[in-house]
Structure 1
Amino acid sequence: VEDRADDLLKEEQQQNPPKVYRQSVTYAREHGELQQYHASCHLNERCRDEIDAALAQRFDGLRLGAGAVEQVVTEYGLERTKYVLAAAIQTRDGDGRISRTNREWADSIRTIKDMDRRGFDRSCYYADLQAHTCLLDGFVNQVRKFEKAKAQPAQNTPER
């Protein structure tokens, strides 16, 4: 019974993943939302690690195999996946290996600048993907295609 309850809870979390917290730690502290802030940052870091794992598992040396995007989105949701990828691209400012369209896509996603007292941006913790920039660029292409396919209404086949 406990295993089934755990399975049901996991299914519910996959269908409704927690929202990305889009405020700074200062805002969270002032508004009593530190728990949500820390939980979101933790999930962002886990999402980053899952992206790296998916790329390592599914890249054969020449191409990125199918299923990498689904592996991450199933666990962390499309919103968080896009958020972490956008932050990763934004921290690689000036890297010419990221396509112009993917850079524009990343810039269209609002990420937070969460500066600490020393002027260090805390977002670098979850934006620091280990994957090579070209592999990251290819993965973002797949995420964008995945999102576009999900946005299109399902076509019903006509009955005979």
Structure 2
Amino acid sequence: MDAEKLNQALYDKMAAEQERFKHGLLGMTAEEALNHAYEYAMREDILMSLEVQDLPAPQAAALLESPCPLADIYKDFRDMETGHMDNIRECIEDRAESLMEAQRETAPIIPIYPHTGEYAREHGELDAFLASLETNVACRDAIETAIGEGFDGMSLHADTKGVLAVFGAERVSHVLAATLQGIRNDPRVSSGNQAWAATVPMFDTVSRHRDYLITSHPGVLSIFVTQTRKEMDAMQKQTEKKPSIKAQLAAKPVPGDQPAAKPKDREVR
């Protein structure tokens, strides 16, 4: 028997075996059948693979000798160590990241309140002040989490882009600078980052800043600040490269404003 006929015979035998397995499941209670749901699905995949896979004649013949080739193949597959669970975990994380990214894009960024708490109280703007303060605290927590998750004891690989996406460059700069201004004499913070922090304006009292000062190790925090500043510079350059909507509209020709096309010379016959 040639390879094509052997493969067809093998497929028919395994399809019949699967049909008997399915019939057995249908005779079980729903709860019992669920215990075999994974096995049924994998056996279906094995059949699907065999449908498009042409085995050499000796291999097909050897499998035909087995009284239950489908069950044998499934048992071997079940005992294999695959990256199946790793793939599932990766899919879960990817989906979560996609949803988080969508939420970041739609969530409004609360602006920094540019006055003291006393000013807010006197001018009836206490709600805006408290909302800004609460967001500062949340930003601090996010930075500390990013540092804690990104530091391996030797180097820092923090998700600066994620923190900036959620809280915006102005808020992140404010919280970082407030912290560095509070430890301006700490030698573990680079002089460049200290100089940068001094340029960021503070709108409230020093005692109020203590509500959201970052408590991470100053040396690791300085690395985070450096990485964040680089990310903000890259974002700024990207924004500058992208033309504004007004510029895009100005670059487009207005219908009717184009000069008339020159008539083509008539062909001389």
CA distance in 2, matches of 1:100, 1:11: 34
The answer to which structure, 1 or 2, has the higher relative contact order (CA under 8 A, 6+ apart) is 1
Q: Cα deviation per residue 1:74-100 (whole Å; 9 max; x = unaligned)?
A: 211111011000000011121111111
CA distance in 1, matches of 2:103, 2:188: 40
The answer for the alignment partner of 2:144 in structure 1 is 52
Does the CA-based 8 Å contact 1:21-1:36 persist in structure 2? yes
The answer for the alignment partner of 2:209 in structure 1 is 123
The answer to whether 1:147 aligns with 2:241 is no
Structure 2 gaps, min length 5: 1-100, 243-269
Does the CA-based 8 Å contact 1:52-1:131 persist in structure 2? yes
**Offset, 1:10:** 5.2
CA distance in 1, matches of 2:104, 2:149: 23
**Offset, 1:9:** 6.6
Instruction: Name the structure where helix makes up a greater proportion of residues.
Output: 2
1:139 maps to a residue whose letter is F
Q: Cα deviation per residue 1:98-147 (whole Å; 9 max; x = unaligned)?
A: 111101100000013426xxxxx1111112x1210001100010111011
Instruction: Compute the TM-score of the two structures, normalised by the length of structure 1.
Output: 0.81
Q: Cα deviation per residue 1:3-49 (whole Å; 9 max; x = unaligned)?
A: xxxx9775322xx5111112111100111110000000000001000
The answer to whether 1:38 aligns with 2:141 is no
3-state SS, counterpart of residue 95 of structure 1: coil
CA distance in 1, matches of 2:203, 2:231: 24
Matches within 5 A, 1:64-79: 64-65=156-157, 67-79=158-170
Over the aligned positions, Cα root-mean-square deviation in angstroms equals 1.9
1:87 to 157, 162, 178: 178
Does the CA-based 8 Å contact 2:109-2:168 persist in structure 1? yes
Query: Matched residue pairs, number?
Result: 140
Gap change, CA 1:142 and 1:10, over 3 Å in 2: closer
Structure number with larger C-alpha Rg: 2
Structure 1 gaps, min length 5: 1-6, 116-120, 156-160
2:180 maps to a residue whose letter is I
Q: Report sequence identity in percent.
A: 34
